[in-house]
Amino acid sequence: MTVVDDSIPVITVDGPTASGKGTVAHRVADELGFHYLDSGALYRLTALASARHGIDPDDVSALAVLAETLDVRFRDQRIWLAGEDVTDAIRAEAIGNRASSIAVHKAVRQALRALQRGFKTAPGLVADGRDMGTVIFPEADLKVFLTATPQARAERRYKQLIEKGFSANIDSLMLDLEARDARDRTRAEAPLRPAEGARVLDTSGLNVDQAVAQVLEWFAQVQYPQGA
- Residue 159, marked binder: no
- Residue 23, marked binder: yes
- Residue 18, marked binder: yes
Ranges of the chain whose pLDDT falls below 70: 1-5, 226-228
- Residue 21, marked binder: yes
40 CB-contact burial (10 Å; exposed 0-12 / middle 13-18 / buried 19+): buried
- Residue 15, marked binder: yes
pTM for the predicted model, two decimal places: 0.84
- Residue 22, marked binder: yes
What are the pLDDT digits (tens) for 150-193? Answer: 889 999 888 888 888 888 889 899 998 888 888 888 888 888 89
Confidence (pLDDT) at 2? 44
Domains and CATH numbers, the chain: 10-220 (3.40.50.300)
- Residue 204, marked binder: no
Confidence (pLDDT) at 168? 86
What are the pLDDT digits (tens) for 76-87? Answer: 778 999 999 999
- Residue 186, marked binder: no
- Residue 228, marked binder: no
